[in-house]
Amino acid sequence: MAKLIVMNGVGFGYPGQTPILSTVNFEINEGDRISILGPNGSGKSTMALLIAGLLAPTSGEISGFINRPSVGIVFQNSRHQMVGSTVEDDLAFGLSLMNLTTDDLQKRVAYFLSEFKLASKRHYNINQLSGGELRRLALASVLITEPRILILDEPLAMLDKEAQSIFLNCLKANVHPETALIWFDHEVRSIRHTERWMVLSKQGRLNPVSLNDLDSRLFLKSHSLTPAPLQWLEWEFPGRISGAIFGPERITFD
Protein backbone atom coordinates (compact mmCIF):
# COMPACT_ATOMS: atom_id res chain seq x y z
CA MET A 1 0.00 0.00 0.00
CA ALA A 2 1.34 3.39 -0.93
CA LYS A 3 2.61 5.72 1.75
CA LEU A 4 0.57 8.87 1.89
CA ILE A 5 2.25 10.87 4.63
CA VAL A 6 5.42 10.22 6.61
CA MET A 7 6.20 12.25 9.71
CA ASN A 8 9.80 12.25 10.89
CA GLY A 9 10.69 13.71 14.27
CA VAL A 10 7.88 16.21 13.86
CA GLY A 11 7.33 18.75 16.58
CA PHE A 12 5.09 21.74 16.94
CA GLY A 13 5.06 24.54 19.45
CA TYR A 14 4.80 28.25 19.85
CA PRO A 15 7.93 30.22 20.80
CA GLY A 16 8.35 30.55 24.53
CA GLN A 17 5.80 27.87 25.36
CA THR A 18 6.02 24.16 26.03
CA PRO A 19 5.82 22.32 22.72
CA ILE A 20 2.45 20.80 21.89
CA LEU A 21 3.94 17.91 19.93
CA SER A 22 7.44 16.51 20.04
CA THR A 23 9.38 13.92 18.06
CA VAL A 24 6.39 12.41 16.36
CA ASN A 25 7.24 9.56 14.01
CA PHE A 26 4.20 8.47 12.12
CA GLU A 27 3.30 6.94 8.79
CA ILE A 28 -0.05 6.97 7.06
CA ASN A 29 -0.60 4.42 4.32
CA GLU A 30 -3.47 3.94 1.92
CA GLY A 31 -6.32 2.02 3.47
CA ASP A 32 -5.16 2.57 7.07
CA ARG A 33 -7.72 2.57 9.84
CA ILE A 34 -5.97 4.26 12.74
CA SER A 35 -7.11 5.44 16.17
CA ILE A 36 -5.19 8.18 17.90
CA LEU A 37 -6.23 8.35 21.55
CA GLY A 38 -5.52 11.33 23.75
CA PRO A 39 -7.13 13.68 26.24
CA ASN A 40 -8.06 17.29 25.50
CA GLY A 41 -4.99 19.42 25.18
CA SER A 42 -2.73 16.60 24.03
CA GLY A 43 -2.39 18.12 20.60
CA LYS A 44 -5.05 16.22 18.68
CA SER A 45 -6.23 19.23 16.70
CA THR A 46 -2.64 20.22 16.02
CA MET A 47 -1.94 16.73 14.66
CA ALA A 48 -5.00 16.93 12.45
CA LEU A 49 -3.97 20.28 11.03
CA LEU A 50 -0.40 19.09 10.47
CA ILE A 51 -1.63 16.06 8.56
CA ALA A 52 -3.90 18.27 6.49
CA GLY A 53 -1.04 20.58 5.70
CA LEU A 54 -2.73 23.56 7.29
CA LEU A 55 0.11 23.93 9.77
CA ALA A 56 3.82 23.54 9.19
CA PRO A 57 5.86 21.68 11.80
CA THR A 58 8.32 23.74 13.83
CA SER A 59 10.74 20.84 13.87
CA GLY A 60 11.21 17.65 11.91
CA GLU A 61 9.66 17.11 8.53
CA ILE A 62 6.54 15.77 6.91
CA SER A 63 7.00 14.13 3.54
CA GLY A 64 4.16 14.31 1.13
CA PHE A 65 3.79 17.81 2.44
CA ILE A 66 4.28 19.76 -0.78
CA ASN A 67 2.34 17.49 -3.05
CA ARG A 68 0.21 16.45 -0.15
CA PRO A 69 -2.73 14.17 -0.64
CA SER A 70 -6.13 15.69 -0.16
CA VAL A 71 -7.31 15.50 3.42
CA GLY A 72 -10.82 15.84 4.77
CA ILE A 73 -11.50 16.68 8.41
CA VAL A 74 -14.72 16.19 10.33
CA PHE A 75 -14.33 18.51 13.28
CA GLN A 76 -15.53 17.93 16.80
CA ASN A 77 -18.12 20.64 16.53
CA SER A 78 -19.84 19.95 13.23
CA ARG A 79 -21.56 23.30 13.26
CA HIS A 80 -18.19 25.04 13.04
CA GLN A 81 -17.40 23.59 9.65
CA MET A 82 -20.67 24.33 7.92
CA VAL A 83 -20.28 26.85 5.15
CA GLY A 84 -23.60 26.67 3.38
CA SER A 85 -26.74 27.73 5.16
CA THR A 86 -28.74 24.86 3.74
CA VAL A 87 -27.88 21.16 3.49
CA GLU A 88 -27.63 21.34 -0.27
CA ASP A 89 -25.43 24.42 -0.24
CA ASP A 90 -22.97 22.96 2.19
CA LEU A 91 -22.58 19.79 0.16
CA ALA A 92 -22.10 21.88 -2.94
CA PHE A 93 -19.41 24.01 -1.34
CA GLY A 94 -16.68 21.41 -1.44
CA LEU A 95 -17.57 20.49 -5.00
CA SER A 96 -17.68 24.09 -6.12
CA LEU A 97 -13.95 24.22 -5.49
CA MET A 98 -13.33 21.44 -7.98
CA ASN A 99 -13.73 21.92 -11.70
CA LEU A 100 -17.15 20.47 -12.28
CA THR A 101 -19.99 21.55 -14.48
CA THR A 102 -23.16 22.58 -12.74
CA ASP A 103 -24.80 19.43 -14.01
CA ASP A 104 -22.17 17.09 -12.54
CA LEU A 105 -22.24 19.08 -9.34
CA GLN A 106 -25.96 18.61 -9.00
CA LYS A 107 -25.72 14.90 -9.74
CA ARG A 108 -23.07 14.31 -7.08
CA VAL A 109 -24.98 16.32 -4.52
CA ALA A 110 -28.11 14.28 -5.19
CA TYR A 111 -26.18 11.04 -4.86
CA PHE A 112 -24.66 11.97 -1.54
CA LEU A 113 -27.94 13.28 -0.20
CA SER A 114 -29.51 9.89 -0.69
CA GLU A 115 -26.47 7.90 0.52
CA PHE A 116 -26.41 9.84 3.76
CA LYS A 117 -30.16 9.77 4.25
CA LEU A 118 -30.47 13.53 4.00
CA ALA A 119 -32.49 13.68 0.79
CA SER A 120 -35.69 14.72 2.53
CA LYS A 121 -33.82 17.53 4.30
CA ARG A 122 -32.24 18.88 1.14
CA HIS A 123 -33.52 22.42 1.54
CA TYR A 124 -33.43 22.53 5.31
CA ASN A 125 -31.48 25.23 7.04
CA ILE A 126 -28.58 23.72 8.96
CA ASN A 127 -29.97 25.17 12.19
CA GLN A 128 -32.96 22.90 11.79
CA LEU A 129 -30.94 19.71 11.76
CA SER A 130 -30.45 17.44 14.73
CA GLY A 131 -26.96 16.70 16.05
CA GLY A 132 -26.81 13.40 14.24
CA GLU A 133 -27.91 14.85 10.93
CA LEU A 134 -25.40 17.66 11.25
CA ARG A 135 -22.59 15.19 11.87
CA ARG A 136 -23.67 13.13 8.86
CA LEU A 137 -23.77 16.23 6.73
CA ALA A 138 -20.26 17.15 7.83
CA LEU A 139 -19.06 13.68 6.86
CA ALA A 140 -20.86 13.80 3.54
CA SER A 141 -19.56 17.24 2.65
CA VAL A 142 -16.03 16.05 3.34
CA LEU A 143 -16.32 12.71 1.53
CA ILE A 144 -17.95 14.33 -1.49
CA THR A 145 -14.55 15.70 -2.48
CA GLU A 146 -12.98 12.21 -2.30
CA PRO A 147 -10.10 12.91 0.07
CA ARG A 148 -7.25 10.40 0.32
CA ILE A 149 -7.06 10.86 4.08
CA LEU A 150 -10.12 11.25 6.27
CA ILE A 151 -9.68 12.63 9.78
CA LEU A 152 -12.45 12.29 12.34
CA ASP A 153 -12.29 14.22 15.60
CA GLU A 154 -14.52 12.56 18.23
CA PRO A 155 -17.21 11.86 15.63
CA LEU A 156 -19.58 10.01 17.94
CA ALA A 157 -19.63 12.64 20.68
CA MET A 158 -23.07 13.93 21.60
CA LEU A 159 -24.88 11.41 19.42
CA ASP A 160 -27.49 9.02 20.73
CA LYS A 161 -27.35 5.34 19.86
CA GLU A 162 -29.43 5.55 16.72
CA ALA A 163 -27.51 8.52 15.35
CA GLN A 164 -24.25 6.74 16.12
CA SER A 165 -25.18 3.61 14.20
CA ILE A 166 -26.46 5.56 11.20
CA PHE A 167 -23.23 7.53 11.17
CA LEU A 168 -21.09 4.42 11.36
CA ASN A 169 -23.07 2.77 8.58
CA CYS A 170 -22.68 5.81 6.34
CA LEU A 171 -18.99 5.76 7.15
CA LYS A 172 -18.55 2.09 6.24
CA ALA A 173 -20.54 2.42 3.06
CA ASN A 174 -18.93 5.53 1.69
CA VAL A 175 -15.28 5.53 2.67
CA HIS A 176 -13.17 4.18 -0.13
CA PRO A 177 -11.05 1.17 0.90
CA GLU A 178 -7.92 3.04 -0.20
CA THR A 179 -8.73 6.12 1.83
CA ALA A 180 -6.77 6.35 5.09
CA LEU A 181 -8.99 6.92 8.11
CA ILE A 182 -7.66 8.56 11.25
CA TRP A 183 -9.95 8.71 14.27
CA PHE A 184 -9.05 11.01 17.13
CA ASP A 185 -10.79 10.37 20.44
CA HIS A 186 -10.35 10.38 24.19
CA GLU A 187 -12.67 7.40 24.67
CA VAL A 188 -10.93 4.08 24.55
CA ARG A 189 -14.01 2.36 23.15
CA SER A 190 -13.53 4.18 19.87
CA ILE A 191 -10.93 1.54 18.96
CA ARG A 192 -13.84 -0.75 18.16
CA HIS A 193 -14.00 0.86 14.75
CA THR A 194 -10.33 0.90 13.78
CA GLU A 195 -7.42 -1.52 13.31
CA ARG A 196 -4.25 0.27 14.40
CA TRP A 197 -4.06 2.14 17.68
CA MET A 198 -1.83 4.94 18.93
CA VAL A 199 -1.76 7.15 21.97
CA LEU A 200 -0.91 10.84 22.11
CA SER A 201 0.44 11.68 25.53
CA LYS A 202 -0.03 14.99 27.32
CA GLN A 203 3.62 15.74 26.54
CA GLY A 204 2.84 15.51 22.85
CA ARG A 205 4.44 12.17 22.07
CA LEU A 206 2.79 9.69 19.75
CA ASN A 207 3.29 6.00 20.40
CA PRO A 208 1.67 2.81 19.21
CA VAL A 209 -0.31 1.01 21.87
CA SER A 210 -1.34 -2.59 22.41
CA LEU A 211 -4.54 -4.05 23.74
CA ASN A 212 -2.69 -4.97 26.94
CA ASP A 213 -1.87 -1.35 27.56
CA LEU A 214 -5.44 -0.29 26.93
CA ASP A 215 -6.69 -2.93 29.34
CA SER A 216 -4.51 -1.54 32.10
CA ARG A 217 -6.19 0.82 34.53
CA LEU A 218 -2.87 2.46 35.35
CA PHE A 219 -2.07 3.10 31.72
CA LEU A 220 -5.43 4.72 31.06
CA LYS A 221 -5.20 6.82 34.20
CA SER A 222 -1.71 8.07 33.43
CA HIS A 223 -2.72 9.00 29.91
CA SER A 224 -6.08 10.48 30.97
CA LEU A 225 -8.04 8.29 28.62
CA THR A 226 -11.70 7.51 29.24
CA PRO A 227 -12.17 3.79 29.86
CA ALA A 228 -14.89 1.87 28.08
CA PRO A 229 -17.99 1.61 30.32
CA LEU A 230 -17.41 -2.04 31.19
CA GLN A 231 -13.68 -1.97 31.80
CA TRP A 232 -14.08 -1.45 35.52
CA LEU A 233 -15.57 -4.94 35.60
CA GLU A 234 -12.26 -6.35 34.38
CA TRP A 235 -10.40 -4.43 37.03
CA GLU A 236 -12.79 -5.43 39.79
CA PHE A 237 -12.63 -9.12 38.87
CA PRO A 238 -9.14 -9.62 37.45
CA GLY A 239 -8.71 -12.74 35.42
CA ARG A 240 -12.41 -13.47 35.17
CA ILE A 241 -13.42 -11.08 32.43
CA SER A 242 -11.86 -10.02 29.16
CA GLY A 243 -12.82 -8.10 26.07
CA ALA A 244 -14.65 -5.46 28.08
CA ILE A 245 -13.22 -2.76 25.83
CA PHE A 246 -15.28 -4.09 22.96
CA GLY A 247 -18.54 -3.87 24.78
CA PRO A 248 -21.28 -6.24 25.92
CA GLU A 249 -21.30 -8.11 22.62
CA ARG A 250 -17.72 -9.32 22.83
CA ILE A 251 -17.09 -9.56 26.52
CA THR A 252 -16.18 -13.04 27.78
CA PHE A 253 -16.24 -14.60 31.20
CA ASP A 254 -13.60 -17.15 32.14
- Binding to another protein, residues 199-228 (CB under 8 A): 217, 220, 224-228
Query: Do 118 and 137 meet the contact criterion of CB atoms below 8 Å apart?
Result: yes
Asked whether position 120 contacts another protein by CB under 8 A, the answer is no
CA distance 210 to 226: 16
Asked whether position 110 contacts another protein by CB under 8 A, the answer is no
Q: Of the ranges 23-31, 81-89, 114-122, 167-175, which one interacts with another protein (CB under 8 A)?
A: 81-89
**11/132 with CB nearer another protein:** 132
Could you give the dihedral angle defined by the CA atoms of residues 172, 174, 175 and 177, in that order, rounded to the nearest 10 degrees? Answer: 80
Closest contact distance (angstroms) between CB of 184 and another protein is: 12
Asked whether position 73 contacts another protein by CB under 8 A, the answer is yes
Asked whether position 164 contacts another protein by CB under 8 A, the answer is yes
CA distance 204 to 22: 5
Asked whether position 109 contacts another protein by CB under 8 A, the answer is yes
- For another protein, the binding residue among 66, 99, 177, 218 (CB under 8 A) is 99
Asked whether position 25 contacts another protein by CB under 8 A, the answer is no
Asked whether position 161 contacts another protein by CB under 8 A, the answer is yes
Closest contact distance (angstroms) between CB of 72 and another protein is: 7
CA distance 110 to 108: 5
**Ranges within 39-58 binding another protein (CB under 8 A):** 39-41, 49, 52, 54
Q: b/e for 214-241, b at 16 or more Cβ within 10 A?
A: bbeeebbeebebebbebbeebeeeeeeb
Asked whether position 59 contacts another protein by CB under 8 A, the answer is no
Q: How much of the chain is helix, strand and coil, in % rounded to 5?
A: 40, 25, 40
CA distance 18 to 158: 31
